[in-house]
Amino acid sequence: MAERVIPIVDQRAAVLAPQVPAAADCVPPSGTLLDARGRPLRDLRISVTDRCNFRCSYCMPKEVFDKNYRYLPHGDLLSFEEITRTARLFLAHGVRKLRLTGGEPLLRKDLERLVAQLAELRTLEGRAPDVTLTTNGSLLARKARALKQAGLSRVTVSLDSLDDAVFRRMNDMDFPVAQVLAGIEAAQAAGLEHIKVNMVVKRGTNDHEISAMARHFRGTGITLRFIEYMDVGATNGWRMDEVLPSDQVIARLQQELPLVPLTANAPGETAKRWGWAAADGRHHPALGEIGVISSVTQAFCGDCNRARLSMEGRLYLCLFATQGWDLRALLRGAASDGQIQAAIASIWQGRSDRYSELRASLPAEAGPGQRRIEMSYIGG
């Protein structure tokens, strides 16, 4: 077996300074902003903390994220007001969905206050944005009601196994699965709709749990999504032979229960949808659906409409980026809303990222002096 080499260095990537346009050059945003490959900007993922109470080996391996790891000091993080201002400027460019992530977002104190601020914002069409959250679920039982009251639209819970021993091993903090399941129940009881559960499938680690997970959530109104284990960041020792292609996930499930393909809900959707079928072979809505996110074997860069804001205010244009744009410098400087909006526009217009499409033809490591950002830094 190839030896795992884990670099013990600061993982945060290089930073680029956005150009601050002159006030006279600030054209009001139209919502029709396109990047260099014709992709609109619709989805902003906001990472609110680089800390987490889990140590999933595919994301924050203990060997790197140990007691010596230097997390960002609180003053470096964007305040809720700075995040809300940035989100407002992105909404003016046509963003409709704001997803809070991390690290573990529920570790950020009073997160519901941020949710309430974001829920007050309006899209270009005058609607409330879709404010969603991705969480490991460990604190959800305590927080679900307050989040719902604050205006959270939806929640996605990451859960890699129902088997307590496997789950404890995968989170590497001996955290019991029952507490995450209680969090999911609390989210349902609080009235959060369209709950999703994300399972990262690692061949040889939890792929034997695919069927149990599918059966557990079938017919509950919760959509389970199987995510291919990705080569994101530089610390998880990723190997292709640990990826179980989504086609194989579907084939395995179809041997037990009938599934039919469904059409996408929206352009840019990361998951391919499959519906549980009834005896007549047609999708039975009461049985619900599953999704597969095949970032490794079937790239979906072609309509990727997602931008990512780190907890310290850097803008990244791809999950596999090695460089981010320092919007915090503008937020904390004298830049006006118009100037920041114009800077965002020119950054997005210059975007040509499509890492997953190019993966096979790229070297396994980022270039010299470059380091890919970590998933725990930029969120999913």
300: exposed, middle or buried (C-beta count within 10 Å: 0-12, 13-18, 19+)?
Answer: middle
- Binding residues for ligand SF4 (CB under 6 A): 52, 54-56, 59-60, 102-104, 136, 158, 300-301, 304, 306, 318-320, 353-356, 375-376
Among 144, 210, 208, which Cα is nearest to 181's? Answer: 144
- Measured from the CB atom, the residue of 60 and 345 that comes closer to ligand SAM is 60
171 binds ligand SAM (CB under 6 A): no
Q: String of b and e for 148-176 (b: at least 16 CB within 10 Å)?
A: bebbbbbbbbbbbbbbeebbeebbeeebe
243 contact choice in ligand SF4, ligand SAM, none (CB below 5 to 8 Å, kind-dependent): none
Return the structure tokens found at 343: 């800077």
Please identify which residue in the block is written with the tokens 């990826």: 243
- Measured from the CB atom, the residue of 123 and 235 that comes closer to ligand SAM is 235
Binding mask 82-111 for ligand SAM (x = CB under 6 A): -------------------xx-x-------
- Measured from the CB atom, the residue of 94 and 102 that comes closer to ligand SAM is 102
Through-space distance between the first and last CA atoms of the chain, rounded to whole angstroms: 29
Q: How many residues does the chain have?
A: 380
- Measured from the CB atom, the residue of 33 and 330 that comes closer to ligand SF4 is 33
Number of residue whose CB is nearest ligand SAM: 380
DSSP state at residue 257: S
Judged by CB under 6 A, the residue of 198, 205, 235, 341 near ligand SAM is: 198
Please identify which residue in the block is written with the tokens 């809900």: 265
In angstroms, give the least distance from the CB of 147 to ligand SAM.
Answer: 14
Please identify which residue in the block is written with the tokens 């109470």: 53
Contacting residues toward ligand SAM, per CB under 6 A: 52, 58-59, 101-102, 104, 134-136, 158, 198, 200, 227, 229-230, 232, 236, 375-376, 379-380
